[in-house]
Amino acid sequence: MNLIKPGSTIGIIGGGQLGKMLILAAASLGYNTIVYCDQKDSPAFSVANSFILAEYDDLSALKEFADQCDVITFEFENIPHDSLAFLEENSLVRPSKNSLFISQNRNREKEFMQKLSLPTTLFKKIIDKQDLLQGIETLGFPCILKTAELGYDGKGQISISEEKDVNEALERLSGQEYILEKKIDFEKEISIIAARDDQDNFKAFSPFENTHKQGILQKTKSPADISQALQNQAVQMTKTIMQELKHIGVLTVEFFVKEGKLLINEIAPRVHNSGHLTIDACFVSQFEQHIRAICSLNLIDPVLHTKAEMHNLIGEDVHDLTNLIMSPTIKVHLYGKKIVKQGRKMGHVTKLLFP
């Protein structure tokens, strides 16, 4: 066990709202924080003890950052693998670069699941036009073309439902790697968020049921409306993934539910938007649990003490808060982003569903 005691400094790569909420959880446990981010006016800067504004491949700035940290973690995946490897040579990084490496590439992630004999959607790796045409022939309509790396909240994706969509998809190919996935007519989407520490202790939150619109998470409720047997299966799959990765910290697995069976959609090696309601509805939030895991503190049993529903405040939603703020059963969380944009997550609200 490598105990990182309160009073130590936690480094966080990325300055978005997830980083901000991690910092608030760390501060409540007595930790100092430093944020490394390449975007000025990042939400996390307002609550961190200090920050470094620099590019993610700036080795000099990364060394300065590492020298100030007792442990380093990250709040998003779009970090150069070589940069995280460099940080591992100069500090303690949790989770490790291996978790990031697998999750950064959708083909690599699917192949990892296949190696573990875990169920996923059907897919094909796409490099060129011939791959795409063969992939469409193999998978059939409808399917969806995604960039293998980068892209989130529906970005970098093309739906291919009929022949007329094929030409648009072919024109979109630009020499990078893609993944073609069979589109699933699923009944619901759920996520499992769990934490693992360096002693292989494991704790999973109650399952979350998620609703997306145009590729962006709109609403999450917990507990999810699934059977106990299905919940147990989802939790066990998540545990298998975390143990294989030797993942330390919080990790999220998104699933499709179809005809009473689970298909893994994707993983996120970090805290997750679907877990925001844990701040108000659980005995420990996903953010505190992550801090506990990376610092080798004891993990808390993440009991859901109140059924809850989380709604993202997207774009102009943030301007209509008067009634929400007045309600004692609605908890408002604003991220402090200065510019409102269409499709941008500006905050969230959690509705506590008392009997």
Each residue's pLDDT tens digit, 125-140: 999 999 999 999 999 9
pLDDT, tens only, 221-236: 999 999 999 999 999 9
Given the structure tokens 């760390």, which residue do they identify? 26
Q: How many CB atoms lie under 10 A from the CB of residue 13? A: 24
Q: Does the predicted model carry a pTM greater than 0.75?
A: yes
What lies within 8 Å, CB to CB, of 174 at 6+ separation is: none
Q: Answer for the pair 173, 125: CB distance below 8 angstroms, yes or no.
A: no
Contacts of 142 (CB under 8 A, 6+ apart): 159, 160, 161, 162, 183
Measured between its terminal Cα atoms, the distance across the chain in Å is 42
Asked if residue 80 and residue 152 are part of one domain, the reply reads no
Segments in the chain forming alpha helices (H):
17-28, 59-67, 81-90, 97-103, 106-115, 129-139, 163-172, 228-245, 278-281, 286-294, 322-326
Q: For 301-307, what is the mean pLDDT?
A: 98
| Rounded-to-integer distance, Cα 11 and Cα 140, Å | 46
Do 311 and 220 belong to one domain? yes
* Continuous segment of H or E residues that includes residue 222: strand 216-222
Mean pLDDT of 245-259: 97
In a domain, 112, yes or no: no
Whether 154 shows a pLDDT value over 60: the answer reads no
Please check whether residues 155 and 232 belong to one and the same domain.
no
Alpha-carbon distances, residue 21 vs 145, 163, 238, 262, 278 (angstroms): 33, 45, 23, 30, 12
Domain of 152 in residue numbering reads as: 122-182
Report yes or no on 110 lying in a domain.
Answer: no
Mean pLDDT, rounded, for 176-182? 93
111 in any annotated domain: no
Q: What is the pLDDT of residue 59?
A: 98
261 in a structural domain: yes
Write the CATH number for 348. Answer: 3.30.470.20
Please tell me whether residues 174 and 212 are part of one structural domain.
no
Q: What is the CATH number of the domain that holds 133?
A: 3.30.1490.20
Mean pLDDT of the chain: 95
Of 324, 290, 309, which is closest to residue 99 (Cα–Cα)? Answer: 290
Q: Look at residue 100 and tell me if it is in a domain.
A: no
Considering the domain architecture, whether residues 25 and 74 belong to the same structural domain is answered as yes
- 152, pLDDT greater than 70: no
For residue 78, give the CATH number of its domain.
3.40.50.20
Structure tokens at 333: 């969380």
Domain assignment present for 319: yes
Which of 130, 156, 182 is where one domain is finished? 182
Over residues 254-271, mean pLDDT: 96
Residue 345 has phi, psi (to 5 degrees) of: -80, 110
Tokens of 237: 């799959």
Residue 309 has pLDDT above 70, yes or no: yes
**Dihedral angle computed from the Cα positions of residues 82, 80, 197 and 235, in that order, rounded to the nearest 10 degrees:** -130
Please list the residues that pair with 309 across neighbouring strands: 221, 351
Together in a domain, 210 and 317: yes
* Structure-derived torsion over alpha carbons of residues 57, 196, 247, 112, reported in degrees to the nearest 10: -130
Q: Round to whole Å and give the CA distance between 59 and 253.
A: 32
User: Does residue 45 sit in the same domain as residue 129?
Assistant: no
Instruction: Give the pLDDT score at 58.
Output: 98
What is the three-class DSSP state of 312? strand
| Phi/psi of residue 6, nearest 5 degrees | -50, 145
Does the pLDDT value for residue 239 go beyond 80? yes
Number of compact structural domains in the chain = 3
Does 2 map to a domain?
A: no
Residues 84 and 219 in one domain: no
Q: Which two tokens stand for residue 274?
A: 């679907």
Q: Which of 182, 210, 226 is the last residue of a domain?
A: 182
**Same structural domain for residues 129 and 238?**
no
Q: Is the per-residue pLDDT at 53 higher than 80?
A: yes
Mapped onto helix, strand or coil, the DSSP state of residue 189 is: strand
**353 band by pLDDT with thresholds 50, 70 and 90:** very high
Identify the residue with better confidence: 151 or 343.
343
**Quick check: 153 pLDDT over 60?**
no
> Within this chain, do residues 346 and 291 fall inside the same structural domain, yes or no?
yes
Whether 105 is in a domain gets the answer: no
Whether residues 316 and 270 share a domain: the answer is: yes
Q: Are residues 172 and 208 in the same domain?
A: no
Q: Which of 204-224 are b and which e, b meaning 16 or more Cβ less than 10 Å from the residue's Cβ? A: bbbbbbbeeeeebbebbbbeb
Q: Is the pLDDT of residue 151 over 80?
A: no
